[in-house]
């Protein structure tokens, strides 16, 4: 089951440039939350702060609190532990090129030392089914490389890989922006089905996408969270003038 | 829309002829350059086979050298000796080199120490091989008070390290950042990511680097002169002087005897064949287990 995320006074820097300013919001459990905003507004940085992925950049620095469930991720846990509880799907599909489809899905468990064959088989099947990819790949799970699939299939493989470690939260950083419309709609259906079991945070450039999949939407601009509310309200009756300008296409 | 300048039909035709002429000229130049490179290679190999094959017989592989004047004899001890020295060199040089390459690519990037290691590796790569022999002599032979296969292996290992380290580094750098990120995103620790994701993705290139280093030291004579020293008799003891094909070829080729010259040719042919066979075997072995559409 998913857990909620509580963010308070979150500031982030890359080197000396501050890229997030005093962000505070509550992401409810088992819902999809969309983050929109123009390029460079900090929405990707924000989701990377939620699983401490920004720390892979040595110049990055963060202040503030992020609570996932009841865990303060910057105080109570190591980045590695946090990332096991919070799955991430990236903008470009990034399957492990030398691994079979099976090994890609099993990698999160196998590379953390889990070796029970029967359980792995079950997890791989269940994850691929959740990611709506099972029927397309079940005949060559161990024969084909993850990189031999099409772009849309690769992205669903990456989702299956993230689900296999049984996370509570799924972060998706523009998961469909490199895909064609058919693959995009498959991914959206998937998000819709997955949110009953996981808390989903999705960064998107596509406002229709946010409207279709998410209950709540946050609008970022120049490193600040301008508005966070029900998706319906953001798109029909935003409180902030800047939000309105953005969603009506006056800039960005 | 910009329009193309109007040209006369005759001018168009002239241009066409000129373009096609240039095209052919470049193609011919490329073919000629390839020939110029290939001719010496084929000539050397052909001459080696012509001279060497006639002296090759079963005894060459099963017998040790015989004194001048006696006919027959072979290089069995040198073939085995080369095998032992190269095994020692590879067992030490390849893991060290890969480890250093991993450090340079994954930990030392941008640090002063990393830059220093990289610079040292590049300098070491250009050091004449006889200097490596002296280093092996000073480090091991003079301490142990005797020549040994081990000293020869160490000298060759030192030669392998920089090549293996630098190719490993280069190959790790070609692994896309997105692949590493995927692993971090799954909560896989850094050391695991390096071993099971980055190195595994870069493996074909790393193997090529190891094979290049292996092939290069397999033919080295100078570093063995005062380390392995050479041995006319059968020995598999790594603490004793040991024969090696390049050393034996060197000794026989310098001798005034026709019989020894013929054996030297055969030795050279066997040395090249050994290198080719081992490189091919590693390639076949490494390509097994590769998946369909694996490398992109």
d(CA A250, nearest CA chain B) in Å? 31
Total domains, chain B = 1
Q: Do A33 and A216 meet the contact criterion of CB atoms below 8 Å apart? A: yes
Measured between beta carbons, the chain A residues lying within 8 angstroms of B287 are none
B56 inside domain:
no
What local confidence, expressed as pLDDT, does residue B296 receive? 40
Choose, out of A97, A110, A165, the residue to mutate when testing the contact with B (most B CBs < 10 Å).
A97
Facing residues of A36 across strands?
A219
- Place B295 in a pLDDT band, splitting at 50, 70 and 90: very low
- Element (H or E) spanning B284, and its range? helix B258-287
Task: Please say if the pLDDT value at position B253 is more than 70.
Answer: yes
Residue A99: list chain B partners with CB under 8 A. 291
Hey, of A78, A98, A108, A142, which one would you mutate to test binding to chain B, going by the most B CBs within 10 A of its CB?
A: A98
- Rounded to an integer, what distance in angstroms lies between the CA atom of residue A249 and that of residue B92? 63
- Residues B56-107: tens digit of each pLDDT: 888 888 888 888 777 778 888 999 999 999 999 999 999 999 999 999 999 9
**Domain membership flag for residue B120:** yes
Asked if residue B190 is part of any domain, the answer here is: yes
Cβ contact B181–A56 (<8 Å): yes
**Residue among B178, B186, B292 whose CB faces A108 most closely:** B186
Do B291 and A112 lie within an 8 Å CB cutoff?
no
Shortest distance between the Cα of A1 and any Cα of chain B, in A, equals 18
Contact B183 A111 (CB under 8 A): yes
Close Cβ partners of A124 (under 8 Å, ≥ 6 residues apart) = A102, A105, A106, A141, A160, A164
pLDDT tens digits, A32-65: 999 999 888 889 999 999 999 988 888 899 999 9
Rounded Cα gap, residues A144 and A178, in angstroms: 22
Residue-range definition of the domain harbouring residue B238 = 62-287
**DSSP annotation of A116:** -
Residue B144 domain-assigned?
A: yes
Which helix (H) or strand (E) segment holds residue B127: the answer is none
The pLDDT averaged over each successive group of 10 residues in chain A (252 residues) is 88 92 92 91 91 88 91 89 91 91 93 89 92 90 89 92 92 88 88 90 90 92 93 91 87 64
**Separation in Å, CA of B292 to nearest CA in chain A:** 5
For the domain covering A5-94+168-247, report its CATH number: 3.40.50.300
C-alpha count within 13 angstroms, C-beta hemisphere, residue B41:
5
**For A191-213, how does the pLDDT look when each residue is reduced to its tens digit (9 = 90+)?**
988 888 999 999 998 888 899 99
Residues B285, B293: Cα–Cα separation, whole Å: 18
Mean pLDDT of B40-65: 89
**Chain B residues with CB-CB distance to A under 8 A?**
176, 178-189, 192-193, 196-197, 200-201, 203, 290-296
pLDDT for the residue numbered A248: 86
| Domain contains B22 | no
* Closest CA in chain B for residue A55: B184
Residue B72 lies in a domain: yes
pLDDT at B105: 93
Inter-chain residue contact B294 with A95, CB threshold 8 Å = no
Give the pLDDT confidence score for residue B218 in this predicted structure: 93
Q: Report the mean per-residue pLDDT for chain B.
A: 89
pTM given for the model: 0.82
Residue A84 CA from chain centroid, whole number: 13
| φ/ψ (deg, to 5) at B272 | -60, -45
What are residue A21's phi and psi, to 5 degrees?
-120, 110
**A105 φ, ψ (degrees, to nearest 5):** -65, -40
* Interface with B, mutate which of A58, A90, A91, A94 (most B CBs under 10 A): A94
Looking at chain A, which residue has its C-alpha nearest residue B179? Answer: A94
């Amino acid at each position: 089951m998913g857990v909620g995320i509580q963010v308070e006074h979150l500031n982030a820097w890359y080197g000396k440039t501050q890229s997030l300013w005093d962000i505070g919001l509550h992401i409810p459990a088992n819902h999809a939350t969309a983050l929109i905003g123009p390029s460079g507004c900090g929405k990707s940085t924000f989701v990377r702060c939620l699983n401490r992925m920004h720390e892979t950049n040595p110049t990055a620095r963060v202040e503030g609190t992020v609570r996932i469930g009841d865990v303060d991720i910057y105080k109570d846990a190591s980045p590695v532990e946090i990332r096991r509880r919070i799955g991430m799907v990236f903008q470009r599909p990034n399957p492990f090129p030398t691994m079979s489809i099976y090994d890609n899905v099993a990698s999160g468990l196998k590379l953390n030392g889990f070796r029970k064959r029967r359980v792995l088989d079950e997890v791989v099947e269940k994850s691929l089914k959740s990611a709506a990819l099972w029927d397309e790949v079940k005949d060559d799970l161990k024969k084909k490389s993850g990189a031999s699939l099409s772009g849309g299939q690769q992205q669903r493989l990456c989702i299956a890989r993230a689900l296999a470690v049984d996370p509570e939260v799924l972060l998706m950083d523009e998961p469909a922006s490199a895909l064609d419309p058919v693959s995009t709609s498959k991914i959206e259906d998937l998000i819709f089905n997955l949110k009953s079991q996981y808390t989903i945070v999705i960064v998107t450039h596509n406002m229709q996408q946010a409207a279709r999949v998410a209950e709540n939407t946050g609008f970022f601009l120049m490193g600040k969270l301008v508005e966070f509310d029900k998706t319906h309200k953001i798109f029909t009756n935003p409180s902030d003038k800047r939000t309105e300008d953005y969603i009506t296409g006056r800039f960005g | 829309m910009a329009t193309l300048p109007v040209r006369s039909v005759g001018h168009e035709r002239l241009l066409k002829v000129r373009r096609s002429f240039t095209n052919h000229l470049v193609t011919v130049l490329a073919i000629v350059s390839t020939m110029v490179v290939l001719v010496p290679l084929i000539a050397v190999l052909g001459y080696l086979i012509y001279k060497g094959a006639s002296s090759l017989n079963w005894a060459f592989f099963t017998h040790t050298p015989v004194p001048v004047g006696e006919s027959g004899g072979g290089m069995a001890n040198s073939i085995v000796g080369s095998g032992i020295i190269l095994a020692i060199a590879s067992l030490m040089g390849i893991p060290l080199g890969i480890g250093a390459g991993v450090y340079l690519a994954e930990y030392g990037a941008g640090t002063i120490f990393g830059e220093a290691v990289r610079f040292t590796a590049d300098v070491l790569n250009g050091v004449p091989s006889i200097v490596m022999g002296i280093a092996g002599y000073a480090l091991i032979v003079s301490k142990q008070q005797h020549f040994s296969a081990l000293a020869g292996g160490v000298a060759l290992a030192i030669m392998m390290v920089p090549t293996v380290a630098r190719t490993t580094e280069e190959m790790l750098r070609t692994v896309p950042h997105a692949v590493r990120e995927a692993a971090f995103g799954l909560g896989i620790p850094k050391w695991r990511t390096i071993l099971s994701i980055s190195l595994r993705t870069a493996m074909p290139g790393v193997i090529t680097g190891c094979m290049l280093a292996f092939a290069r030291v397999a033919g080295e004579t100078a570093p063995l002169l005062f380390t392995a020293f050479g041995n006319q008799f059968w020995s598999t003891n790594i603490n004793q002087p040991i024969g090696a094909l390049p050393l034996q070829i060197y000794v026989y080729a310098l001798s005034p005897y026709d019989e020894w010259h013929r054996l030297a040719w055969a030795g050279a042919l066997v040395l090249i064949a050994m290198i080719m066979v081992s490189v091919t075997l590693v390639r076949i072995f490494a390509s097994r287990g590769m998946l369909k559409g694996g490398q992109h």
